């Protein structure tokens, strides 16, 4: 199926997907492989990552091929690979070149076993850990119950700027600190005290019902988020982070990033796989698109919406 680069934010969002429990508990969801040295892996690695084993002659050993055929996401990383061009590493010399090309070389060995593209993490462990230090660990073995209880972070809609989460995450001071959240937008009827020190807070008290009016608040939500961009990240949340806040995230992408509704929908769905604004909010997003662009760009009668 090929080999592709993936951004650190994409892997971050993969690690933080959940339904009733973390998706990391699903056996065929994610195979995360660390191609660095044993010493580096032991010092710290990305949560749930397994180190790729090598033969006595230095060849990388392929994990269980049956597992690879079933897995939905296979991600490989090394120290700092930034390219899929083999020539970039052939021109280098010595141990450093071997380390930097490790993820790509291993991905090439895995490609024949997977039904989906093998992903190579852009920038490797160095870049990922610089942005998401709180997802580093020394833990090697994860029991099923530990994966069930893994507490996900809000997903990242715009790297370092906008996050989408639920009420429980919005009340977790450690999450707010780790993500450097300085402002919150609460789109639910339940009030929440802002825990981020010195942060700002906007509540749009809208019920999750077909009759609820969220359209009239889209402009104030977008302007509030825009006003916070220089001060730090913004967490957009509702009770479950599935309907109201996801609709607001799409509205913001349409307003401030010039996305069509279709593009905004696909982007948010890629970041958080279980979002689902109800039909009333879909119609309001369509009206918002018409208001911004002067015409309806996206046909919301399609089954996707």
115: Cβ–Cβ under 8 A, 6 or more apart, which residues?
A: 1, 69
CATH of 155-293, one of 1.10.357.10, 3.40.830.10, 3.90.190.10, 3.40.50.300: 3.90.190.10
CATH of 3-148, one of 2.60.40.2250, 3.40.250.10, 3.40.50.2300, 3.40.50.450: 3.40.250.10
**pLDDT (tens digit per residue) in 120-175:** 999 999 999 999 999 999 999 899 899 999 999 999 999 999 999 999 999 999 99
Q: HEC states along 89-153?
A: HHCCCHHHHHHHCHHHHHHHHHHHHCCCCEEEECCHHHHHHHHCHHHEECCCCCCHHHHHCCCCC
What tokens appear for 69 in the block? Answer: 């055929």
Specify the higher pLDDT residue, 192 or 35.
35
What tokens appear for 63 in the block? Answer: 């994990």
d(CA 61, CA 237) in angstroms, rounded, equals 43
Specify the higher pLDDT residue, 48 or 192.
48
Contact between 100 and 84 under an 8 Å Cβ cutoff? The reply is no
d(CA 90, CA 96) in angstroms, rounded, equals 11
pTM as predicted: 0.91
- Roughly how many angstroms between the first and final C-alpha of the chain, as a whole number? 29
**pLDDT (tens digit per residue) in 160-204:** 999 999 999 999 999 999 999 999 999 998 887 655 455 699 999
Query: Structural domain boundaries of the chain?
Result: 3-148, 155-293
**pLDDT (tens digit per residue) in 58-90:** 555 666 666 777 889 999 999 999 888 765 555
What is the structure's pLDDT at 50?
92
What is the structure's pLDDT at 229?
78
What is the structure's pLDDT at 261?
97
Domains 3-148 and 155-293 share a fold: no
**pLDDT (tens digit per residue) in 243-296:** 999 999 999 999 999 999 999 999 999 999 999 999 999 999 999 999 999 999
């Amino acid at each position: 199926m090929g080999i592709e680069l993936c951004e650190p934010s994409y892997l971050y969002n993969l690690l933080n997907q959940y339904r009733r429990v973390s998706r990391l508990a699903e056996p065929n969801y994610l195979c995360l492989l660390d191609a660095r040295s044993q010493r580096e892996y032991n010092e710290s690695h990305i949560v749930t990552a397994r180190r790729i084993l090598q033969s006595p002659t230095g060849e990388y050993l392929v994990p269980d091929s049956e597992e690879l055929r079933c897995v939905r996401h296979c991600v490989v990383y090394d120290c700092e690979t930034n390219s899929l061009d083999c020539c970039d590493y052939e021109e280098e010399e010595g141990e450093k070149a071997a380390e930097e090309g490790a993820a790509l070389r291993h991905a090439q060995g895995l490609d024949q076993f997977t039904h989906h593209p093998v992903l190579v993490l852009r920038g490797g462990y160095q870049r990922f850990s610089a942005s998401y230090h709180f997802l580093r660990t020394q833990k090697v073995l994860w029991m099923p119950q530990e994966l069930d209880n893994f507490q996900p972070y809000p997903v990242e809609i715009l790297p370092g700027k906008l996050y989408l989460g639920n009420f429980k995450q919005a009340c977790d001071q450690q999450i707010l600190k780790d993500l450097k959240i300085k402002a919150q937008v609460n789109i639910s009827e339940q009030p929440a005290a802002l825990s981020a020190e010195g942060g700002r807070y906007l509540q749009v008290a809208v019920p999750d019902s077909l009759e609820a009016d969220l359209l009239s608040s889209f402009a104030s939500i977008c302007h509030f988020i825009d006003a916070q961009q220089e001060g730090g990240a913004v967490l957009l949340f509702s009770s479950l982070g599935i309907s109201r806040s996801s609709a607001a995230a799409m509205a913001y992408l349409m307003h401030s990033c010039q996305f069509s509704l279709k593009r905004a929908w696909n982007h948010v769905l890629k970041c958080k796989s279980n979002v689902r604004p109800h039909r009333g909010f879909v119609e309001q997003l369509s009206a918002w698109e018409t208001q911004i662009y002067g015409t309806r760009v996206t046909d919301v009668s399609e089954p996707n919406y």
